Amino acid sequence: MNPSDLIHFCPPSRLLIEAGARARLPTLLHHLGYRCGVLVTDEFFARQTSWVTEYVEAAAAYGIDTLVYAGGLPDPTTALCDEATRRLRAQLDNRVLDHVIALGGGSNIDLAKALCLTLVSGQPVREFVDGIPAGLHPLPLVAMPTTAGTGSEATPGAILVDPDNATKVAVMDNRLRPIIALIDPELTYTCPPRVTADAGVDALTHAVESFLTLDSSQFDRAGHADPGYSGRSSLTMLFAREAISLCARFLERAYRDGSDIEARHGMAYASIYAALSYGSAGLNAVHGIAYAVAGLTHQSHGSTNAVMLPYVLDELHGVRQRELAEIARLFGVNAPSPVEAAVRLPATIRELISRLGIPITLQGFGVSRSQLLRLTVDGLAVTRLAKAFPVLDAASAYASIVNNAWTGTLRG
């Protein structure tokens, strides 16, 4: 407990973690009184697995009608959301939707969150980027992640790409948090190594960033009565600490051997625990700069987080030394003092990222020196993340991080 904590914690109202838990969903939804829903997924899960058909048939046996939308894509756009809204509203034929189900990775869950709004209102999703009106009630969302990393099943935001300028926009509100987060580790068994690594590093980044972010007592909630993010607290750090420990034990194992059931389950737990931490504490510089790197290089979200993580940790040495030393111990760093452990941690994380087959410098992604200023400026433009970075001067810190990530420089 920390008496200075200002806790505003919004987990899913129901969290199920169990191998095979997807089979329990129709019974639960029937018990809760739901009768007509949309299942949002993509072509792979609709055509290459039996999961969608099994669910639709089992739900129908309980009197639950389900429309299937299988048009999900990586990095969904606002245009995709609006087109899906028009198509689904046209298919309703006087039926009244009362829930949405997301099956897939973070992209499908983000699209489903946005549809929870637009299927009710019929409005373009961009109209909600600046906030959701008080009187609008989004459809309840059930999230079934098929990767161990995104954490979108426990967070308040839907991230979409605006095709007009190729930038990511966020629709944020606690009303978009899933009412049911169903974590079935069996859904991750088919993830290929590259997806396993990217998702796993994303989970690790969520846990580490939320463990090190701005304290809740210092976090600017802008006077919001129901803030989506509100800084770290002793509660969020409990979840982050356990998630980091699980990633240290199981991330590389799951990447190296997808049939390692213990590792798959360990990373499923790591992902949701990290989400329960960052879903209230928030993130900062790693994600802020990674968004800019992804916009420039079109590399995956997990990989762009991975390349930045060691250098952000290095920058925090002066303000989060105790926490860095604690993370180092979880990763098995054997150092004579906490100071030395904190210094060694960034290199330890970078070595892990290299073993996962991800470039460890910006040069490895083809970034030129002339593009470093643009990355810094674009990273700082994500102001909600820059403001949460616990340093005195975020602008100079971002510039240092970007330069070090290009040259590969770490103090340890």
pLDDT surpasses 90 at 263: yes
* pLDDT band with cut points at 50, 70 and 90 for residue 188: very high
| Averaged pLDDT score across all residues of the chain | 96
Give the pLDDT mean for 281-300: 95
CB-based contacts of 221, cutoff 8 Å, min separation 6: 8, 227, 230
pLDDT for 71-97, tens place per residue? 999 999 999 999 999 999 999 988 999
pLDDT surpasses 90 at 164: no
Q: Are residues 224 and 247 in the same domain?
A: yes
pLDDT surpasses 90 at 399: yes
Asked if residue 6 is part of any domain, the answer here is: no
Give the pLDDT mean for 304-321: 97
* pLDDT band with cut points at 50, 70 and 90 for residue 1: confident
Q: Are residues 198 and 135 in the same domain?
A: no
Q: Are residues 168 and 208 in the same domain?
A: no
Q: Are residues 31 and 179 in the same domain?
A: yes
Q: Are residues 24 and 118 in the same domain?
A: yes
Give the pLDDT mean for 279-297: 96
Q: Are residues 184 and 207 in the same domain?
A: no
Q: Are residues 134 and 228 in the same domain?
A: no
Give the closest residue to 91 by CA, choosing from 12, 47, 55, 37: 37
Give the pLDDT mean for 172-193: 97
* pLDDT band with cut points at 50, 70 and 90 for residue 411: confident
* pLDDT band with cut points at 50, 70 and 90 for residue 325: very high
pLDDT at 165: 79
Q: Which of 188, 219, 249 is the last residue before a domain boundary?
A: 188
- CATH label of the domain that carries residue 375: 1.20.1090.10
| Measured distance CA(263)–CA(295) in Å, rounded | 32
Give the phi and the psi of residue 151 in degrees, each rounded to 5. Answer: 75, 5
Q: Are residues 88 and 131 in the same domain?
A: yes
Percent of the chain past pLDDT 90, that is, above it, reads 94
Query: Looking at this protein, which amino acid is placed at residue 218?
Result: Q
Q: Which of 188, 206, 238 is the last residue before a domain boundary?
A: 188
Q: Which of 188, 222, 241 is the last residue before a domain boundary?
A: 188
Asked if residue 4 is part of any domain, the answer here is: no
Asked if residue 3 is part of any domain, the answer here is: no
- CATH label of the domain that carries residue 117: 3.40.50.1970
DSSP output for 338-396: HHHHHHHHHHHHHHHHHHTT--SSSGGGT--GGGHHHHHHHHHTSHHHHTTS-SS-HHH
pLDDT for 229-238, tens place per residue? 999 999 999 9
Q: Are residues 367 and 234 in the same domain?
A: yes
pLDDT surpasses 80 at 128: yes
Q: Are residues 251 and 388 in the same domain?
A: yes
Q: Are residues 181 and 198 in the same domain?
A: no
| Measured distance CA(367)–CA(167) in Å, rounded | 18
| Measured distance CA(258)–CA(254) in Å, rounded | 5
Q: Are residues 178 and 217 in the same domain?
A: no
pLDDT surpasses 80 at 101: yes
Asked if residue 1 is part of any domain, the answer here is: no
CA angle 207, 213, 214 (to 5 degrees): 150
pLDDT at 271: 98
pLDDT for 363-375, tens place per residue? 999 999 999 999 9
Give the pLDDT mean for 282-295: 95
pLDDT for 166-181, tens place per residue? 778 899 999 999 999 9
**Which structural domain, as residue segments, surrounds residue 350?**
193-407
pLDDT surpasses 90 at 284: yes
297, 303, 307, 310 alpha-carbon torsion, rounded to 10°: 160
Asked if residue 8 is part of any domain, the answer here is: no
Asked if residue 9 is part of any domain, the answer here is: no
Asked if residue 5 is part of any domain, the answer here is: no
pLDDT at 167: 77
Asked if residue 78 is part of any domain, the answer here is: yes
Percent of the chain past pLDDT 70, that is, above it, reads 100
pLDDT surpasses 80 at 412: no
Count of domains observed in the chain? 2
Give the closest residue to 202 by CA, choosing from 352, 306, 345, 328: 306
pLDDT at 169: 87
Question: Which position has the token pair 């290095």?
Answer: 314
| pTM of the model as a whole | 0.96
Strand-pair category, 36-40 with 180-183 = unpaired
Give the pLDDT mean for 201-217: 98
